[in-house]
């Protein structure tokens, strides 16, 4: 077995608000070699009749000062409205809604049901075109989301049928049997779907039109939406898909015409969770890669490969990411600020500083992107990819 170890070094940040580095040096910083995926992506500009999106982010109190703040500083400000759903309120963050549910990973379906019920009860008449649910470690390129939702094939259906868009997974047959303990319900499900449980990964998030949210909310009391006794075993993203199967509603394919993913259930790049103590050769390190660019798509037994079986397969390298990619998962605050910097500020020319960039573009990019105190991993020279 290959032991993945690398040297980690902190890039020193200045004590003031602004970086002592030049823009050129600041933009040359790369975290976990995420540039391979990020360089494939373009941010849409001037989206015509941009849809109004209500963003619903699942979080908990321990993340209020970190992940919640990072989302508010970055992509969250580009939603028409941003709400966080947590186990506690926060006097400094009025956009946090407290839900009376357990704050752990084992009760996500219960929490998600309360989230959708709240959003529908309080905001269905507020003129939102779409609802977008994500976890608090998602990074969403909102402009690309808006552009996708303005595609003709989406617009022509959005007021007619329930729709949801995200990164599709398919549960393996053994997990289908495990999650549905009611065997009568399980038999009916298998007959209806040919034992195919396809769902959108909840991490990077998925878009739902109002008809979809309404249908879910009006079905929550039914056995087919799986009661709270399932909460301790059933992920919320799989559960909502199961609930909608009985209405003949399935997650739509969101890949582009070249079959590249727009939604990503992982971060742009990274390495496996190991003790990072010494530099290893790239040849060894690449065997331990995770993330959308270097993920393993060649091992049939790998869960990621199995989860894409029959729905387009998994891809990597330049085939990993559509130029109009929408969202990533497992993006913690340091990488979130880095992505914000690389996708927006570093792609502009002629602006003397961030204030000038914001004034010209109409954006409100946070000055946090100018603080490069981030974990920089020293892999040595990059390989020929």
Structural domain boundaries in the chain: 7-41+50-363+370-378
Q: Are strands 81-86 and 206-208 parallel, antiparallel or unpaired?
A: unpaired
Check whether 385 has a pLDDT greater than 60. no
Q: Within the chain, how many helices (H) and strands (E) appear?
A: 14, 14
Query: What count of other Cβ atoms lies within 10 Å of the Cβ of residue 264?
Result: 28
Dump pLDDT digits (tens) for 300-334. 998 999 999 999 999 988 899 999 999 999 999 99
CA-closest candidate to residue 47, choices 168, 129, 120, 162: 129
Please give the mean pLDDT across all residues of the chain.
Answer: 86
CA-closest candidate to residue 56, choices 126, 135, 3, 121: 135
How distant is the alpha carbon of residue 144 from its chain centre?
Answer: 13
Dump pLDDT digits (tens) for 97-144. 999 887 777 778 889 999 999 999 999 999 999 999 999 999 999 999
Burial call 54-88: b when 16+ CB within 10 Å, e when fewer:
bbbbbbbeebbeebbbbbbbbbbebbbebbbbbbe
The dihedrals phi and psi of 139, each to the nearest 5 degrees, come to -125, 120
223 DSSP assignment? G
Check whether 9 has a pLDDT greater than 50. no
pTM for the full model? 0.89
């Amino acid at each position: 077995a290959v032991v993945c170890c690398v040297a980690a070094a902190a890039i020193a940040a200045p004590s003031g608000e602004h970086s002592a580095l030049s823009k050129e040096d600041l933009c040359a910083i790369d975290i976990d070699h995420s540039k391979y995926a990020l360089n494939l992506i373009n941010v849409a500009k001037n989206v015509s009749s941009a849809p109004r999106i209500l963003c619903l982010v699942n979080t908990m109190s321990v993340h209020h000062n970190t992940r919640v703040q990072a989302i508010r500083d970055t992509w969250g400000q580009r939603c028409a409205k941003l709400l966080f759903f947590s186990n506690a309120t926060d006097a400094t963050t009025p956009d946090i809604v407290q839900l009376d549910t357990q704050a752990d990973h084992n009760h996500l379906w219960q929490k998600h049901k309360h989230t959708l019920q709240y959003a529908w009860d309080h905001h269905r008449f507020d003129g939102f075109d779409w609802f977008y649910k994500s976890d608090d470690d998602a990074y969403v390129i909102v402009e690309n989301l808006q552009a996708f939702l303005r595609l003709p094939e989406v617009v022509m259906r959005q007021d007619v049928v329930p729709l949801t868009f995200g990164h599709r997974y398919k549960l393996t047959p053994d997990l289908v049997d495990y999650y549905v303990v009611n065997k009568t319900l399980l038999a009916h499900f298998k007959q209806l779907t040919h034992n195919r449980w396809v769902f959108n990964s909840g991490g990077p998030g998925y878009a739902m039109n109002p008809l979809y949210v309404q249908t879910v909310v009006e079905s929550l009391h039914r056995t087919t939406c799986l009661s709270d006794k399932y909460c301790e075993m059933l992920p919320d993203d799989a559960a909502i898909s199961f609930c909608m199967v009985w209405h003949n509603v399935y997650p739509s394919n969101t890949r582009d015409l070249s079959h590249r993913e727009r939604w990503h259930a992982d971060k742009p790049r990274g390495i496996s969770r190991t003790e990072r103590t010494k530099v290893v050769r790239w040849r060894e390190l690449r065997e331990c890669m995770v993330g959308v660019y270097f993920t393993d798509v060649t091992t049939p037994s790998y869960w990621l490969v199995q989860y894409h079986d029959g729905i387009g397969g998994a891809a990597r390298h330049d085939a990993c990411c559509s130029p109009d990619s929408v969202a990533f998962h497992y993006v913690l605050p340091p990488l979130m600020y880095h992505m914000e910097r690389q996708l927006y500020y570093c792609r502009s020319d002629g602006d003397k500083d961030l204030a000038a960039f914001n004034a010209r573009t109409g954006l409100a990019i946070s000055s946090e992107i100018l603080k490069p105190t981030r974990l920089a991993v020293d892999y040595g020279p990059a390989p020929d990819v």
